[in-house]
């Protein structure tokens, strides 16, 4: 599990095709590798990926065709900046919101403009994900926990402060038409499932059968 608070950024060193998958190697001088082990999870642009090799300032992960097809990872190129977050610890300060690292879809930056010192951004997300979002709610984009200013249909509006833009990939890669990984609030998904189950149970519950039958009426003198 992650929090959506980016620990550091990294740079794509290589993307090596391997048997239909991709071996992705990312370098980072800012990420603490002292406690990284093989098999650990590192969220890379919001995608939970398993470390299969690492050194003092890099790690490699294998990316399946399923992940490539369902995320914006295919648009990455060597030199691109990616957001990094190691899996949270029980002692980690929970500064963002619950992030699973399971990308739900791909969004597109549809508007970008200055707003005082901040950046006003609109991201068009898949229609099927829109009902999981809410104005002043939480959403994860490229692994960053962000608060939505406003949600209109499938357009999510955001205001990015200068600090967030500089310590993530936003300043360099969030341009008009850029694709971003989208993970909706997992709490909304669970609530939907609970509500759907409750409604299904209600509709499937048949009315209790009456114990009053013709035989009962006859036995009790109501029929001759």
Which among 106, 93, 101 has a CA at the least distance from the CA of 41? 101
Q: Is 1 exposed, middle or buried (0-12, 13-18, 19+ CB in 10 A)?
A: middle
Grade residue 224 by pLDDT with cuts at 50, 70 and 90: very low
**101-105, 123-127, 157-161, 199-203: range with lowest mean pLDDT:** 199-203
pLDDT at 157 (0 to 100): 98
Encoding tokens for residue 24? Answer: 């992705």
Q: Assess contact for 182 and 106: CB atoms under 8 A.
A: yes
Query: What is the rounded distance in angstroms from the CA atom of residue 93 to the CA atom of residue 169?
Result: 22
Beta strands in 81-136 (DSSP E): 81-86, 105-115, 118-124
pLDDT at 218 (0 to 100): 56
Which pTM does this prediction carry? 0.85
- All domains in the chain, ordered by first residue: 8-86 (2.40.30.20), 105-188 (2.40.30.20)
């Amino acid at each position: 599990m992650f929090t959506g608070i980016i620990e550091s950024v990294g740079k794509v060193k290589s993307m090596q095709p391997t048997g239909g998958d991709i071996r992705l190697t990312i370098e980072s001088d800012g990420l603490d590798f002292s406690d990284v082990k093989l098999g650990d999870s590192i969220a890379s642009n919001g995608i939970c990926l398993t470390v299969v090799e690492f050194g003092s300032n890099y790690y490699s992960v294998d990316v399946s065709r399923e992940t490539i097809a369902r995320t914006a990872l295919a648009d990455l190129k060597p030199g691109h900046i990616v957001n990094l977050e190691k899996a949270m610890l029980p002692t980690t300060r929970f500064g963002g919101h619950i992030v699973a690292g399971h990308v739900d879809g791909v969004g597109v930056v549809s508007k970008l403009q200055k707003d005082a010192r901040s950046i006003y951004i609109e991201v068009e997300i898949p229609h099927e994900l829109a009902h999981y979002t809410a104005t002043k709610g939480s959403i994860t984009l490229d692994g960053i926990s962000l608060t939505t200013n406003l949600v209109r249909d499938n357009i999510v509006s955001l205001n990015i402060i200068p600090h967030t833009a500089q310590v993530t990939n936003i300043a360099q890669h969030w341009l008009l038409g850029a694709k971003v990984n989208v993970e909706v609030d997992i709490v909304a998904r669970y609530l939907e499932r609970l509500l759907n189950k409750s409604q299904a149970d209600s509709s499937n519950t048949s009315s209790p059968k009456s114990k009053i039958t013709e035989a009962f009426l006859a036995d009790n003198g109501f029929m001759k």
